[in-house]
């Protein structure tokens, strides 16, 4: 299945078939009809993000030149819900262990994080549905197969998701340069979710407020921060070491 599906009927059939979709782009000038209405209803029911953009954006993304003002960006794997992640931890009879990504936009980073999550024994990864990369073919390739084994939940709001996890007795630890505590001092044997911020942005202020603790990775060199996938790998393997 290609990453891009174009045209009204192909996109409609894609949604009817239940294929996972990262997002759907509509030209702002598109004429509404019964097909468009059904696409919007199916997208809403399935939690698929929809964006209305300038027609020039559609033209740039179009491969065939016959988009009819609509493009669907497909996902390489079906997403799961937050409840599914909690059920996976329960089924494994292990304290929950998740990685939350607060706005990762680079598919190379997401693919690398999924690969590490699989190797470190994490139960799942949570990503944002908007302003973040989804499960594209590039992510699948970089993950080296891990995309098939690591469940990924897509949520509309990271801060609300953190609150839901806390209500499920999961301790949430944000990884950020502003943290005053060393990341190795956290007890990852407890039900845990680590939160990694977006490239160059770090954690949002609201996300920081929602976390139970903010920790940092000690830096001895002149570079002040690490790549998101590297930072997540260090913390994930510390959690894995503690649980061994």
Of residues 225 and 186, more confidence is placed in: 186
Q: Would the pLDDT of 11 be above 70?
A: yes
- Buried b or exposed e, range 8-40, using 16+ CB within 10 angstroms: bebbbebbeeeebbbbbbbbeebeeeeebeebb
pLDDT of residue 1: 46
**C-alpha–C-alpha distance, residues 101 and 196, integer Å:** 5
Terminal alpha carbon distance of the chain: 39
Q: Poorest-confidence range of 64-73, 79-88, 187-196?
A: 64-73
pLDDT of residue 224: 67
- Position 210 confidence tier, pLDDT thresholds 50, 70, 90: very high
Q: Average pLDDT in the 16-39 region? A: 92
pLDDT of residue 174: 96
Of residues 85 and 220, more confidence is placed in: 85
Which residue segments constitute the domains of the chain, with CATH numbers given? 4-74 (3.30.1330.30), 82-243 (3.40.1280.10)
DSSP state of 2: -
CA distances from 156 to 49, 72, 82, 92, 150 (A): 9, 18, 11, 27, 20
Q: Would the pLDDT of 116 be above 60?
A: yes
pLDDT in tens, 79-107: 999 999 999 999 999 999 999 999 999 99
pLDDT of residue 180: 87
pLDDT of residue 2: 55
pLDDT of residue 220: 81
pLDDT in tens, 136-189: 989 999 999 999 999 999 999 999 999 999 999 999 999 998 898 999 999 999
Chain centroid, CA 206 distance in Å: 18
pLDDT of residue 76: 87
On average, the pLDDT of the chain sits at 92
């Amino acid at each position: 299945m290609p990453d891009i599906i174009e045209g009204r009927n192909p996109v409609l059939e894609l949604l009817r078939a239940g294929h996972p979709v990262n997002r759907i782009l509509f030209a702002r000038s598109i004429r509404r009809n019964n097909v468009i209405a059904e696409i919007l209803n199916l997208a809403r029911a399935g939690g698929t993000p929809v964006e209305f953009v300038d027609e020039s954006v559609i033209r740039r993304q179009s491969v065939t030149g016959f988009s009819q003002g609509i493009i669907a960006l497909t996902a390489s794997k079906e997403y799961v819900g937050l409840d599914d992640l909690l059920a996976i931890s329960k089924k494994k009879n292990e304290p929950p262990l998740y990685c939350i990504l607060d706005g990762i936009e680079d598919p190379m980073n997401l693919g690398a994080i999924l690969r590490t999550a699989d190797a470190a024994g994490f139960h799942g990864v949570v990503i944002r549905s908007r302003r973040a990369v989804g499960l594209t073919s590039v992510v699948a390739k970089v993950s080296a197969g891990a995309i098939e084994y690591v469940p990924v939940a897509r949520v509309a709001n990271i801060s609300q998701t953190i609150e839901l996890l806390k209500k499920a007795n999961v301790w949430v630890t944000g990884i950020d340069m502003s943290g005053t505590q060393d990341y190795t001092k956290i007890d990852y044997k407890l039900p845990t979710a680590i939160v990694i911020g977006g490239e160059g942005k770090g954690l949002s202020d609201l996300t920081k407020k929602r976390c139970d603790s903010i920790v940092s990775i000690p830096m001895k060199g002149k570079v002040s921060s690490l790549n998101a996938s590297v930072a997540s790998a260090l913390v994930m393997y510390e959690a894995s070491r503690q649980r061994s």
